[in-house]
Structure 1
Amino acid sequence: MKTVFRRTLPFAFLAPFALAASATLAQTAPPTAEITAPGDTSLTALVDQVQIPYERFTLENGLTTLVHTDRKAPIVGVTVYYRVGSRHEPRGRTGFAHLFEHLMFGGSENVENFDIPLEAAGSTSTNGSTWYDRTNYVETVPTGALDLALFMESDRMGYLLGAVSQEKLDNQRMVVQNEKRQGDNQPYGLVDYLMADGMLPVGHPYRHATIGSMADLEAASLTDVQDWFRSNYGPNNVVLVLAGDIDAATARPMVERWFGAIPRGPEVAEAPGGPVTLAAPVRQVVTDQVPATHIYRTWTGPEMTSPDAIPLTVGMYILGGLASSRLDNAMVRGDEIATSASAYSLGFEKMSQLITMVEVKDGVEPEEAEAKLVAETERLVTEGPTADELERAKTTLIASTVGGLERVGGFGGKGMVLAEGELYTGDADHYRKELEAIAALTPAQVQGALERWLSRPAYTLSVVPGQRTLDGATMGGWGDEDLSPPPAPDARAPVEVTRTAPPREAPPVLPVGELTFPAVEHATLSNGIEVVLARREAVPMVSMTLTFAAGSVVDPADAAGRHETMMDLLTEGTTTRSALDIAIAQEELGSSLSAAAGVETSQVTLTTLTSNLAPSVALMADVTLNPAFRAEDVARVKEQRLAEIAQELASPGSLASKAFMPLIYGADHPYAHASSSGDAAVVEALTPAVLKAEHDRWLRPDLAQITVVGDVSMPELVAALEAGFGGWKAPAAPAPTRHIDAPAPAPHAQIVGVNRPNSPSSYLMLGRVTPLVGEPNGIEVIETANEVLGGGFLSRLMGDLRETKGWTYGIGSSIPAATGQRRFTIATQVQADRTGDSIVAIVDQLKAFPATAPVDPVELQRVTDGNVRGLPNRFETNGQVLGALVSNRVLGRDIRYQAQLPDIYRAMDAAIINAAAADYLTPDNLTIVVVGDRETVAPQLEQLGMEVTWLDAEAL
């Protein structure tokens, strides 16, 4: 429905690690003395902390249900996995599994729309996704809404076809086609197609893309839909997982009531498709509208249950996933011929993809970078990892799973982990076997697996800057369409659509208890830094943020990017540690440490095991207080920042933002450039002395706050913080201040185009500055009115442009939080030939609310009572609570502001929401930025009756 979800590693907890673009270092350095790990932090102890106990029952129709009890919050994650994905699609019907997933949200015989009643009942994470091996649906609901969620999941499993009309099929077909256009329109957006085509033969079930080809999507008929449903969506092909405030004794009668009468279906036709060894190396070079050359070197690998799966996962992580990985050390921090490098294993049920990638530094010959990539890969294959590398990789991977225990549902939650193990291997405890295998790995096992799989011929793809010569619309299909036509689509004659069973009544939603927002403790360090702690003991981890009143707004217009670059350098070396030392220290501790500048704050953030709190805080303090700004580190980070700036100039969304913000705020306003990566000329000119002065000016204790959430007492926390930060004193000079109260120009209507040739979609950004500053009284009503308009999946803008017209994959509006003057923004990517029509449709929606279309009772209930019901879901994890507390402090709210939200929402009525819309969500004086193909877009914009100014993308 909203995403094509990619399972990146053999176990769902570890997915974030596979996507890290930075990779890593080969040589090792001894850890600094104070980085020692007290307590039992052995790998065995860490694995023992990852437990997801469950009970199982199977209905007579074959539905398998797993129930995991977790009473920490009154919520239940509902996770449904169907044993059908894109690899089961026949020739000529690529993209069909994903298209059908969209249709599953469009209503069933007894439910008009799945999202409306679920969100009204307080559901969050209401979503679905498709991948090669499966289709899944997830929602996390208040305990009192579990019966409703089960009713709805059963209704689309057993009683769908009577509600799927030709109109719904045509609409969702357009939505999916726009999803494809949106993905294809991104820099490197065609790479997945090319890699699959290069590694796999025509007809291999993992070759065609999950999104499919435009021709096949166009060919899908209502008869196809009915046949697909009957063939694949029987309960015997399903794993249902309930995780949270529920037990098997309570769950079983509910599941039997709603699912028991659904008959078994056929078993899903298996589509075997194992790894393929190329007969000889394959090379391909394509030009595209990209900012830098990317080189990909890839192989197919074994299925996820292979004995080699885990050794390969860890080996690829050592090669290009660790912060101290081989590729980063050799190519990014070593020879400095790349701005980023990575390697990972992308695991599927029947095979995997083993992928290495390098982004070539500007001015470096691609042949040199490729040779180094090959050499480092072959060195690891030949020698294997060192014992130290392997232990760090194990610790990092296993420690990361502990945090995954917080979330019961949604993508990546405990329900997903159990469902994938059961579906793919027949063993819901498979994640445990994977973790135990990691803990027991030896260097010889890793080296052996790498040698078996990476010594085979590779497919090498180079994407180089130039004109796009390939058309994504023709890609993603079976692959032999040019040799012979695919099977003809079924005749588009009318297809009978009738109810298949008697009506069923939806169950009532039980009352929801009051939100329990954690208690907050306060302390002050000896140097005056205020500390806030919310103690939560669900997992033995601590997350903390050191927040400075700075951010990218402190850069004047002629210095955009200076502050962000300084923050990037904090983790790149201190006076006693190199970047490699810092990376190794994190890995040994199982910690994650980062530093970055947001728009209005600069933050150093740490997540660590509770048992390693003291040494982790010591590391955090060192990078904050003692950055070295060595010339070689500055040069490397500047190159990476310049690569980010170039990427923004190639990305349609970033181009729109870079044009939009100076237009509405004025070119010299602090907010004008604060949301970008900076100015290339400014970054290029930065020196170590300038960056050190920036650090000393803004990173000082009298501008700092510390916010902590996790399994630690205040005395333990203060002791660790005093040891790390207690001796840090503010300089004698007064603290600097930000000037975000600068006036913005009065809004006025204007259309500005940015030419991006060969764009299948146009990126639209519309909006203006508002008179709202900071957190004014009643801001919640304005934000709630915006939720009706465009602030969620059920908003009016989504309903019109996506669900009714099918012109976009998604659209949203917002009034982002700020301490200065807030803006009102609408953003979407629409099919290019509907650019002008989409602008008209958006303006029409603004005109109608509330003049001719005031908030209706369903909308009112959803954004008031529905939000109250959903609050427990929004603060399930330490990270969610930490984000809330930091925002409260930055914006000057009460520290437990979220606990007040139920009363705030309950006090709202239709009249005040309508009034807020009339005051703040009007179509008056909009700045409209359009990023797209000028040849296609310009005639449409001319029809709007406004003068259009065109900007050069290179000048932004």
Structure 2
Amino acid sequence: MLRFASTSLAAIAIATSVPALADNHAAKPEAAATSAEAIAPLPDLIDEVAIPYTQFELDNGLTVIVHEDRKAPIVGVAMWYNVGSKDEPEGKTGFAHLFEHLMFNGSENAPGDYFQYLQEMGATDYNGTTSFDRTNYFQTVPSGALERALWLESDRMGYLLGAVTQEKLDNQRGVVQNEKRQGDNQPGGLVFYEIVETLFPKPHPYGHTPIGSMADLDAASMEDVRAWFRDKYGPNNATLVLAGDISADEARPLVEKYFGAIERGPVNTPAAAAIPELDEDVRTVMKDQVAATNISRYWTAPGLDSRDLVALTVGAEILGGLSSSRLDNALVRDEQIAVGVSAGNFSFQRVGVLNVGATVKPGEDAAKVEARMDEIIAELIAEGPTEDEVRRAATQQVASTIRGLEQVGGFGGKAVTLASGEVFVDDPEFYAKQLEILATLTPAEVQAAMQRWMTRPAMTLVLEPGEREDDYEEAASVGDSEDADADPADNTLTVSVERPKPEIETLAELDFPTVQETTLSNGMKVYYAQRDAVPVTRVAISFDAGSAADPVAKRGLEGLAMSLYDEGTTTRSSREIAEERERLGAVISTGGGSDRSTFTLTALTANLAPSLDLMTDIVRNPAFDEGELRRVKAQTITGIQQQMRTPQGIANMTLTPLLYGEDSPYGDSGSGTVESVSAITRDDLVMFKNRWIQPDNAELFVVSDMALEDIKPALDEAFGQWAANRMARGLKDFSTIAEAPEQTRIVLVNRPNSPQSFIYGGMITNARAQDAGIVDLLNANNALGGNFLARLNMNLRETKGWSYGVRGGVSQREGAVGYLVSAPVQADRTGDSLAELRREIGEFLTDRGVSEDELVRIVNNEIRELPGQFETSGAVLNAMQTNALYDRPMDYYETLSERYTNQTTESLDAAAREALDLDRFTWVVVGDAEKVRPQLETLGLPIEQIELEQ
């Protein structure tokens, strides 16, 4: 879908991110710039985009939209309620979001956690979200489970209140407050509040964030909550979209059956909200644990119904969103005074926010960066963009839309596209009209819109490194001596209407695409699968390298090298590569993680030939220019420094060498250290290329709507004539991986003034990712920590309310399998939380293993979700690469159903107990030592305290 309204304003609160640490690409020596004639015209691309639908309305006012797409036996279900945080009155901020949580906690006929019912159906891509403008719930389910999904959605719409108890309200209040703490605890986590309160001063409807205030959440009573539901969640205030393996004729009787009897409620007329204008420029300076100063400018702007929407979005892309944006070219590439820039148009239903920002390169003058940023903004407004800039930005938008529409559900597929148009602007075809504007947009229109909105008074927010000066808003419950486990009153479940749960029909089995194997002229192996849902081709060339290939003294070498591959080849400059990608609507990314270094092309098939030519040049002919090396190294180092200021980054960088061993291939988080990256030279990059990025060390993976015989000649031209030119091949010594210690311990990393602590623990197991038995360990963990319903999360989130979410995961790598537990918890419950984690794990490994109910739920979910897991060509491409990495047959996923069916509680318990030993875990806790250490000391475990370097 068009991404105009899908990005949270929170994402623009701070722009301190830097380019990915592993971002590489490729090309061949004779490559030349792509000619305009080779590129498909933008109107032709737009003609590829269509979501035909049928719309009808029930007598009770429920709007229903159905899109038929028979590519897979799944249906995307999206329920959108016309209520968001802008509709909350004073004193009740956060209610819409709180209710989103409560509506997952059971209804009268489905009293359990809704994730339980979703997993029973084999649902994928399921969640719920709240924004300023709407609340939505979505899931993609197997076709045979659609009736069950409609029963579930209708029960929480019409029959919820009898299941909302005081206990559930208190618990979810705690969960939401921990969600707020988790966001606030990040570097720059308080910036969002400042932006909203400045641009939209009270009583403006957009003047508070969807998360709400601690005080208002504390004050929410049962009667408040019930009144909010009665006023806002009626069928005539909702839109249901079904997209996938269903027709309108099939859908209508089912929707009537489950929703037809629900009575109308009041209609929520979205709060009127003028676009405010600041009286004068506002400047705010904040300090926080950031690695570099960020300067961001914000203007209020029009909402989704404005004709300026597309023009402003394109203008922002040209200014700072595109890889070849004006700010990027000037501040980052040419002058190298910034390590990152950003710009965006973040539009909501009634209003929007335009943002432009730059992150200052450490050591540079922030005032100079800001002055240059202002000059570039003023120049674009005064002179307007070029035709080529407008076309490149428009092509990127269209290509993103085409790729997104392969998915029927999820966060951005067809169901969301239709629902957002209907709910926000009363038009499911809103996306198509925006595309038509893109096709004909002129530079003059972009310039006029920017002149209209970006010459008004603006807010400038400067976020500097330093000790945070602003106080956290804390909940009244913190420090309360009341027993958190005490039984609250008013916990009676009532059922107003009995509604039996429909049976799940016979479900289709996974039909994984047939994978054909062939070789290129130089012997490079090719794995190919055909998918024709969208006109897109995906190509990945994967090398047996990854961060595990880094020499111990040069940690971060692979990541830095991969980042430099698309920063200039022997025939193209960094800027030329960026511009060419944008003209083609192509995405060329790099990565692969610990074990593989991978270049991935996602191309519009109409533009495949020139896109593949560009990819080939990037892969084969990196220039590793000294100037670009200096620039990217500075960005990478700033990124590492920023990681060491986030709770998760600190925990990961601390625990990883403790688990795997400092000198092992996995002894680093993958990014390296400031010292190791600083020491890397161009000769090191060339050495990495010659040892690892060679054709005899590569495999090629392709998923396309084209047939193999049609695409293979292009692949052979791109990579089949490539001859190896390597020095001695690098080696990875997995024998250096450490064994788990004989005794558990706690490493406490002091991070003062943290409202949450981040607990991160684990051990190296004796399991192997290549062994068939890994499936048993994975499913055993689905009972312990692997998903929402697992014991660790249900305890600390759903029972105690001490965390927003806890997970335990099996970390599979080619040379080692680890087990890791991550738990962000409120600071005053750190010791209690770690005690509970240890208790749960200990009991699971001794006398309270996988239960029969857990086994049935887990096995049913794993089998039933298989078709939905591989809906997209990207998912198929990733699966093919995983199969190759672990030496599995390409039909591996089709064999899993039988494996799951044969699992027992005994087989899962045996797998977990063979792999895990509670007494050999290492626990890292990142938090305020003054508050946390006394709690941890009560556990009786050895504690080592580390002070962070400033």
Identify the TM-score tier after normalising by the shorter chain. over 0.9
SS state of the match for residue 772, structure 1? coil
Letter of the 1:85 counterpart: G
Contact 2:808 2:821 (C-alpha < 8 Å) held by counterparts: yes
Q: What does the per-residue CA deviation read over 1:473-523, in whole Å, with 9 as the maximum and x for residues that have no partner?
A: 269xxxxxxxxxxxxxxxx99769663622110100001111100001111
Please give the TM-score of this superposition, normalised by the length of structure 2: 0.95
Counterpart-to-counterpart distance in 2, 1:625 and 1:153: 52
- In structure 2, the residue matched to 1:677 is 671
Counterpart-to-counterpart distance in 2, 1:17 and 1:222: 35
Counterpart-to-counterpart distance in 1, 2:653 and 2:295: 28
The yes-or-no answer on 1:92 pairing with 2:114 is no
Sequence identity, in percent? 46
- In structure 1, the residue matched to 2:738 is 744
Counterpart-to-counterpart distance in 2, 1:180 and 1:732: 52
- In structure 2, the residue matched to 1:930 is 925
The yes-or-no answer on 1:719 pairing with 2:725 is no
What does 1:87-126 align with in structure 2 at a 5 Å threshold? 87-113=86-112, 114-126=114-126
The yes-or-no answer on 1:906 pairing with 2:905 is no
Measured after TM superposition, the shift of residue 742 of structure 1 is 2.3
- Structure 1 unaligned spans of 5+: 1-5, 25-30, 476-491
Counterpart-to-counterpart distance in 2, 1:219 and 1:284: 31
Counterpart-to-counterpart distance in 1, 2:140 and 2:816: 35
- In structure 2, the residue matched to 1:200 is 200
Counterpart-to-counterpart distance in 1, 2:860 and 2:231: 39
SS state of the match for residue 208, structure 2? coil
Counterpart-to-counterpart distance in 2, 1:12 and 1:332: 24
Q: What does the per-residue CA deviation read over 1:626-681, in whole Å, with 9 as the maximum and x for residues that have no partner?
A: 111111100000011011101111011011011101112222111110x2311111
Counterpart-to-counterpart distance in 1, 2:142 and 2:219: 40
Measured after TM superposition, the shift of residue 822 of structure 1 is 1.1
SS state of the match for residue 508, structure 1? coil
Counterpart-to-counterpart distance in 2, 1:499 and 1:689: 72
Measured after TM superposition, the shift of residue 727 of structure 1 is 2.3
Match of 2:776 among 781, 784, 797: 781
Letter of the 2:66 counterpart: V
SS state of the match for residue 272, structure 2? coil
Letter of the 2:785 counterpart: G
What does 1:590-609 align with in structure 2 at a 5 Å threshold? 590-596=585-591, 598-609=593-604
* Distance change in 2, residues 1:40/1:657 (3 Å): closer
The yes-or-no answer on 1:217 pairing with 2:212 is no
Contact 2:106 2:160 (C-alpha < 8 Å) held by counterparts: yes
The yes-or-no answer on 1:634 pairing with 2:629 is yes
Measured after TM superposition, the shift of residue 691 of structure 1 is 1.4
Counterpart-to-counterpart distance in 1, 2:134 and 2:700: 43
The yes-or-no answer on 1:530 pairing with 2:525 is yes
- In structure 1, the residue matched to 2:573 is 578
Measured after TM superposition, the shift of residue 746 of structure 1 is 3.7
Contact 1:790 1:798 (C-alpha < 8 Å) held by counterparts: yes
Counterpart-to-counterpart distance in 2, 1:764 and 1:15: 25
SS state of the match for residue 205, structure 1? coil
Q: What does the per-residue CA deviation read over 1:82-114, in whole Å, with 9 as the maximum and x for residues that have no partner?
A: 000000011111111101100000001000221
* Distance change in 2, residues 1:11/1:36 (3 Å): farther
SS state of the match for residue 865, structure 1? helix
Counterpart-to-counterpart distance in 2, 1:130 and 1:681: 42
Counterpart-to-counterpart distance in 2, 1:36 and 1:784: 52
Contact 1:331 1:337 (C-alpha < 8 Å) held by counterparts: yes
CA RMSD after TM alignment:
2.3
Counterpart-to-counterpart distance in 2, 1:496 and 1:266: 27
Counterpart-to-counterpart distance in 1, 2:9 and 2:747: 43
Measured after TM superposition, the shift of residue 830 of structure 1 is 0.4
Contact 2:764 2:819 (C-alpha < 8 Å) held by counterparts: yes
Counterpart-to-counterpart distance in 1, 2:50 and 2:182: 39
The yes-or-no answer on 1:49 pairing with 2:48 is yes
Measured after TM superposition, the shift of residue 39 of structure 1 is 7.0
SS state of the match for residue 538, structure 2? strand
Contact 1:540 1:711 (C-alpha < 8 Å) held by counterparts: yes
- In structure 1, the residue matched to 2:582 is 587
Q: Which stretch has the larger CA shift, 732-741 or 769-778?
A: 732-741
Counterpart-to-counterpart distance in 2, 1:283 and 1:19: 15
- In structure 2, the residue matched to 1:284 is 284
* Distance change in 2, residues 1:752/1:19 (3 Å): closer
- In structure 2, the residue matched to 1:81 is 80
Contact 1:180 1:211 (C-alpha < 8 Å) held by counterparts: yes
SS state of the match for residue 810, structure 1? coil
- In structure 2, the residue matched to 1:335 is 335
Match of 1:695 among 685, 689, 692: 689
Counterpart-to-counterpart distance in 2, 1:285 and 1:676: 33
- In structure 1, the residue matched to 2:25 is none
Letter of the 2:839 counterpart: D
The yes-or-no answer on 1:707 pairing with 2:706 is no
Q: What does the per-residue CA deviation read over 1:872-926, in whole Å, with 9 as the maximum and x for residues that have no partner?
A: 1100001111111111111111122111111111111122112223322442211
- In structure 2, the residue matched to 1:555 is 550
Match of 1:619 among 614, 623, 628: 614
The yes-or-no answer on 1:363 pairing with 2:363 is yes
- In structure 2, the residue matched to 1:27 is none
Match of 2:640 among 641, 645, 649: 645
Counterpart-to-counterpart distance in 1, 2:180 and 2:9: 27
Letter of the 1:786 counterpart: N
Match of 1:662 among 653, 657, 682: 657
Measured after TM superposition, the shift of residue 410 of structure 1 is 1.4
Contact 1:94 1:210 (C-alpha < 8 Å) held by counterparts: yes
What does 1:57-206 align with in structure 2 at a 5 Å threshold? 57-113=56-112, 114-206=114-206
What does 1:434-445 align with in structure 2 at a 5 Å threshold? 434-445=434-445
Q: What does the per-residue CA deviation read over 1:755-783, in whole Å, with 9 as the maximum and x for residues that have no partner?
A: 11111100011111111233123110011
Counterpart-to-counterpart distance in 2, 1:515 and 1:553: 34
Counterpart-to-counterpart distance in 1, 2:304 and 2:474: 31
What does 1:846-885 align with in structure 2 at a 5 Å threshold? 846-849=841-844, 851-885=846-880
SS state of the match for residue 785, structure 1? helix
Counterpart-to-counterpart distance in 1, 2:144 and 2:488: 44
In the alignment of these two chains, the number of paired residues is 927
What does 1:267-278 align with in structure 2 at a 5 Å threshold? 267-278=267-278
The yes-or-no answer on 1:540 pairing with 2:535 is yes
SS state of the match for residue 812, structure 2? coil
SS state of the match for residue 565, structure 2? helix
Measured after TM superposition, the shift of residue 701 of structure 1 is 0.7
Q: Which stretch has the larger CA shift, 726-735 or 811-820?
A: 726-735
- In structure 1, the residue matched to 2:804 is 809
SS state of the match for residue 106, structure 1? coil
* Distance change in 2, residues 1:262/1:524 (3 Å): same
Match of 1:755 among 750, 753, 757: 750
Measured after TM superposition, the shift of residue 694 of structure 1 is 1.8
Contact 1:553 1:740 (C-alpha < 8 Å) held by counterparts: no
Q: Which stretch has the larger CA shift, 347-356 or 113-122?
A: 113-122
Contact 1:22 1:321 (C-alpha < 8 Å) held by counterparts: no
Please give the TM-score of this superposition, normalised by the length of structure 1: 0.94
What does 1:436-475 align with in structure 2 at a 5 Å threshold? 436-473=436-473
- In structure 2, the residue matched to 1:512 is 507
SS state of the match for residue 644, structure 2? helix
The yes-or-no answer on 1:263 pairing with 2:263 is yes
Counterpart-to-counterpart distance in 2, 1:662 and 1:441: 53
Counterpart-to-counterpart distance in 2, 1:846 and 1:496: 29
Letter of the 1:224 counterpart: D
Contact 1:407 1:877 (C-alpha < 8 Å) held by counterparts: yes
Contact 1:571 1:595 (C-alpha < 8 Å) held by counterparts: no
Contact 1:670 1:739 (C-alpha < 8 Å) held by counterparts: yes
Measured after TM superposition, the shift of residue 8 of structure 1 is 5.5
- In structure 2, the residue matched to 1:485 is none
- In structure 1, the residue matched to 2:4 is 9
- In structure 1, the residue matched to 2:24 is none
Counterpart-to-counterpart distance in 2, 1:23 and 1:195: 25
